[in-house]
Structure 1
Amino acid sequence: MTKTITGCLILLFVSMQSCAPQLSKINGISFVASKHAIDENHVKPVLAIHANYAAIMPFGFLKDLNHPEIQYDSGNQWFGETKSGVSQYIGELKKHGIKVMLKPQIWVWRGKFTGEIKMQDEKDWQVLETTYTNYILDYAVLAQDLDVPIFCIGTELETFVSQRPDYWFSLIQKIRSIYDGALTYAANWNEFEQTPFWSALDFIGIDAYFPVSDRKTPTTEEALQGWARHKPGVEGISSQYNKPILFTEYGYRSVDYTGMAPWKSDRSFNQVNLAAQVNTTSALYEAFWEEPWFAGGFVWKWFTNHDDSGGRTNSMFTPQNKPAEQLIKRHYRLK
């Protein structure tokens, strides 16, 4: 993809001027890595819901929130989290016409929140920045080599970003020197208004876990009322930077009170509520998908082995084999 084509993509979402051929919304899924290679049998369920994009997420690992050395592409990781696996996944998805957002992201041991990564001194900050740069640029090269249209430079790294803004502007320049697709960053829902480098990117990326209702089973209308608190800020940041909004992650668990704190993945929070997942997801679609400044998004999350994933007794995020999957299928078919 050339810079001209990328510029055309962004212009489409911002101004809605014609850039032939006409491009649709990004109707994406977050494709979770597995131990094995994928084939068409793993891609068919993605096609069945009319998704046109998949986020591929090779993880890098930190031992703790103040540990500076990122480990990645190691023999201890699942195949789909390695460079070889990422290449194989992207190749298989592309064969079936599914585009990719490559989204390398950090996992802190025991699931500690990445937004709280903070080094203890300048020396450790320098080590973190060096290893993060190596990690991101390795995958930026891969994204360029495989003609990946969107590259995400980081996910929910609020303290790292706020403490070291100059580093991030420098990193973006380095990425631009080797990758000519569109760039985004996945800001957490309560972080995006403070992110300093939107002017240097192509999409304003938000992991859209906004609280929209404190009801056990919110109706779609109640969830829409909840969005009224947040949507003006989302539209405002798009207008401020003249950039389209991309929900780099969105979704709800099939659980009671799913709209109250949608980011929670605590397994003790497990009373299955399929209707709540459907209603909150439907409200998100109604609130955003028709807006000209909204580019689309990636539902969280989609496992490669579809037949064994999710189901009506599952209280976690995946919509697979639940009523929410049929909602997504209907919505993506029309958009």
Structure 2
Amino acid sequence: MEYICGMTYAPFARKGSYQEKSAFDSLKKMKENTNSNFVILAPNGLQDTAQSEEICYTSEATVSDDELKGMIDYAKELGMRVALKPTVNCKNGTWRAHVNFFDEDVVCEPKWCNWFESYTEFQLHYARLAKEMGVEMHIAGCEMVMAERREAEWRKLIADIRSEFDGLVSYNTDKYQEHNVKWWDAVDVISSSGYYPLEDWENQLDRIEAVVKKFQKPFFFAEAGCMSIVDSNKVPNDWTVQGEADAKGQADWYEAMFEACLKREWVRGMAFWSWNSHLYTKNAALKRKDYEIYAKPAEKIVKKYYDSIQK
């Protein structure tokens, strides 16, 4: 697999978001400022709670198919490969990792079989769109930690995706979960969320390496990032960290990740979280306390390494 120098662009965009000129300008700026050769687009599926069985992807909360196709075309025009990662979220704010049901069906209780039926419809809709648009990769979900134990359902889902899509198929597990997924042999590419502490990259890469060797599949970080806030680089997965803005601390985390990952030949890339469709002013950059890297020191770190990798 060609090395992935990627970014996630405007995840969970609402309908209309990709119609604005500023969205196209932002994608172009992302390409110019980071030298990304790969972009992940993450259309939004919504269920009411973590125990709801139905997933909606046709409301105003989800970018339309026509908009998505237009952005895919433009990304390709800019010379980037594209992955679709249809991702489920809960309307009530519960993190998708906690979507869960009884292992045994119980009358009058929500069930895995109903949820997977809706989830499969959601995934196949975008798998068909991905094939139509010549997308490089379909990532069949993100950080569904409690659902990952349902091995038979995931294997069937991936087989169903392959019946509609002939590109690479992956799945994005969460940080610290790489060794818990039993069905990596079903996908083409193993991927995970690399939100690991600044000082812990070597330990975590050692652990992940054992998984990659076991399954003999390509691997990349489908998500990774750190907020520009004090101490975020110690717990980059925690988006509730409070404190002063710290753009240098964010840049230090990116430097540490690149230095650790580039020593491992089996790490075949990363796609950072994330790049917004509406950019803030450069003057505001150093005051921000989020995962965005535009006009922050971390942006220059990403471009330096992506330039070096693609020489």
Q: Which residue of 1 aligns with 2:275?
A: 302
Q: Which residue of 2 aligns with 1:173?
A: 159
Give 1:297 shift: 0.9
| 1:313 corresponds to 2:287 | yes
Give 1:295 shift: 1.0
Give 1:290 shift: 4.3
Residues 31-56 of structure 1 show CA distances to partners (whole Å, capped at 9, x for unaligned) of 01362425552332122121101100
Q: TM-score, normalised by structure 1?
A: 0.84
The alignment partner of 1:275 has SS state of helix
Give 1:289 shift: 2.7
Question: Could you tell me whether the CA contact under 8 Å between 1:38 and 1:88 is conserved in 2?
Answer: no
Question: Could you tell me whether the CA contact under 8 Å between 2:18 and 2:71 is conserved in 1?
Answer: no
Question: Could you tell me whether the CA contact under 8 Å between 2:81 and 2:136 is conserved in 1?
Answer: yes
Query: Which whole-Å CA distance do the structure 2 matches of 1:272 and 1:177 have between them?
Result: 47
Residues 68-105 of structure 1 show CA distances to partners (whole Å, capped at 9, x for unaligned) of 1101122x225xx3322211110111111111110000
1:245 to 219, 235, 255: 219
Q: Which residue of 1 aligns with 2:231?
A: 257
Q: Which residue of 2 aligns with 1:108?
A: 90
Give 1:177 shift: 1.3
The alignment partner of 2:111 has SS state of helix
Q: Share of identical aligned residues, percent?
A: 23
Question: Could you tell me whether the CA contact under 8 Å between 2:18 and 2:68 is conserved in 1?
Answer: no
Question: Could you tell me whether the CA contact under 8 Å between 1:38 and 1:89 is conserved in 2?
Answer: no
The alignment partner of 1:319 has SS state of coil
Query: Which whole-Å CA distance do the structure 2 matches of 1:87 and 1:56 have between them?
Result: 11
1:201 to 170, 176, 187: 187
Residues 162-219 of structure 1 show CA distances to partners (whole Å, capped at 9, x for unaligned) of 1x2101001111111111111111100121111111111111101011234xxxxxxx
The range that moved more, 129-138 or 32-41, is: 32-41
Give 1:331 shift: 1.2
Give 1:252 shift: 0.5
Question: Could you tell me whether the CA contact under 8 Å between 2:9 and 2:27 is conserved in 1?
Answer: no
The range that moved more, 272-281 or 108-117, is: 108-117
1:45 to 18, 22, 29: 29
Question: Could you tell me whether the CA contact under 8 Å between 1:152 and 1:185 is conserved in 2?
Answer: yes
**Where do 5+ consecutive residues of structure 1 fail to align?**
1-8, 10-22, 213-222
Q: Please list, as runs of the form range in 1=range in 2, the aligned pairs for 1:175-190 lying within 5 A after superposition.
A: 175-190=161-176
Query: Which whole-Å CA distance do the structure 1 matches of 2:197 and 2:265 have between them?
Result: 23
The alignment partner of 2:8 has SS state of strand
Give 1:307 shift: 4.4
Query: Which whole-Å CA distance do the structure 2 matches of 1:50 and 1:28 have between them?
Result: 9
Give 1:275 shift: 1.1
Query: Which whole-Å CA distance do the structure 2 matches of 1:320 and 1:110 have between them?
Result: 29
Question: Could you tell me whether the CA contact under 8 Å between 1:106 and 1:114 is conserved in 2?
Answer: yes
**Aligned residues between the structures:** 296
Q: Please list, as runs of the form range in 1=range in 2, the aligned pairs for 1:227-242 lying within 5 A after superposition.
A: 227-242=201-216
Query: Which whole-Å CA distance do the structure 2 matches of 1:115 and 1:47 have between them?
Result: 31
Q: Please list, as runs of the form range in 1=range in 2, the aligned pairs for 1:1-335 lying within 5 A after superposition.
A: 9=1, 23=2, 25-32=3-10, 33=13, 35-37=17-19, 40-48=24-32, 49-74=34-59, 76-78=60-62, 81-120=63-102, 122=105, 124-162=111-149, 164-212=150-198, 223=199, 226-266=200-240, 269-308=242-281, 311-335=285-309
Misfit runs of 4+, over 6 Å: none
The alignment partner of 2:39 has SS state of strand
The alignment partner of 2:232 has SS state of coil
Query: Which whole-Å CA distance do the structure 1 matches of 2:177 and 2:127 have between them?
Result: 24
**Where do 5+ consecutive residues of structure 2 fail to align?**
none
Query: Which whole-Å CA distance do the structure 1 matches of 2:138 and 2:122 have between them?
Result: 13
The alignment partner of 1:259 has SS state of helix
Question: Could you tell me whether the CA contact under 8 Å between 1:206 and 1:246 is conserved in 2?
Answer: yes
Give the residue type in structure 2 aligned to 1:244: P
Give the residue type in structure 2 aligned to 1:298: A
Q: TM-score, normalised by structure 2?
A: 0.90
